[in-house]
Amino acid sequence: MVPKRAAALHAHPGETPANLREHLVAMTGELLGEVSLGALTTRQIARHAGVSDGVLYNHFADKSELVIASLVDRYARLLDAFEAQAPTVGEGTVEANLQAFARALSGLEADVLLLGAGLLADPALLAGFWTEIHRSPFGPDRLMKPLRAYLEGERAAGRVSPSLDVNATTTLVFGASAMVALTRRLNPQANGSRLDAQLDAAITTLVRGLEG
């Protein structure tokens, strides 16, 4: 049976059940920015989405599945924005490109830590979210791919040492970015500009060993 359509979607006659599912995910995301996870109910979600309570269960087994879907959707959008900032081989300087990449990566990591922090009181939900963002089409390889491709391109172009170890360099950039992201989240009083400067300095030190 075709699920009942949300009143909020009636203005769009072409909407499909898939669109309704996306609508529920989006509305849950809005509520997660206003209501603590522990206090969030399926009834609140339904009211906010403009549907009857039962419509949620046409698309999700329970609230946990819907919450995870919403968080994964948020992560996907963060990842898309991050990938759009990937450096281009041969443009600018290697140092500036890697600094910009490291800052974007650190921002992504800080945002993901924030998403996960809201689930600490529910280990099962946190585990579910972590599992989803580590499986296809996500996963660590997708995060590392832009940097690896960039470094390989710069090596082929002769702008870094021909003996460059791409995997080791990627690990170093990710390590420095993660440290700054973690500091930013664990210490809200930390000076953001100073953290960015520290990350830039780390990348500058790294680049000195890359250029041949």
Residue 151 has pLDDT above 50, yes or no: yes
The predicted structure's pLDDT at residue 211: 66
Report pTM.
0.83
pLDDT at 7: 52
The 10s digit of each residue's pLDDT in 29-67 is: 999 888 888 889 999 999 999 999 889 999 999 999 999
Least confident of 6-15, 51-60, 108-117, 174-183: 6-15
How confident is residue 208, by pLDDT bands cut at 50, 70 and 90? confident
In the chain, the N- to C-terminal Cα span, in Å, equals 65
Indicate the domain borders of the chain: 1-60, 70-208
pLDDT category, 16, cuts 50, 70, 90?
low
Within 10 angstroms of residue 181's Cβ, the number of other Cβ atoms is 22
Residue-level pLDDT at 37: 84
Q: 1-60 has which fold? A: Arc Repressor Mutant, subunit A (1.10.10)
CA distance 195 to 177: 10
Tokens of 99: 């600094």
Among the ranges given (3-12, 16-25, 197-206), the one the predictor scored with the smallest mean pLDDT:
3-12
Query: Which DSSP string corresponds to 1-13?
Result: -PPPPPGGGTT-T
Q: What is the pLDDT at residue 210?
A: 72
Q: Is the pLDDT of residue 1 over 50?
A: no
The answer on pLDDT for 158 being more than 90 is yes
Percent of the chain topping pLDDT 90: 76
- Which pLDDT does position 128 carry in this prediction? 94
Q: What is the pLDDT of residue 10?
A: 46
Topology, domain 70-208: Tetracycline Repressor; domain 2 (1.10.357)
Please write the tens of the pLDDT for every residue from 79-137.
999 999 999 999 999 999 999 999 999 999 999 998 888 888 899 999 999 999 999 99
* Residues whose CB is less than 8 angstroms from the CB of residue 45 and which lie 6 or more positions away in sequence, other chains included: 24, 27, 28, 31, 56, 63, 66
Give the pLDDT band of residue 212 (cuts 50, 70, 90).
low
Which pLDDT does position 3 carry in this prediction? 41
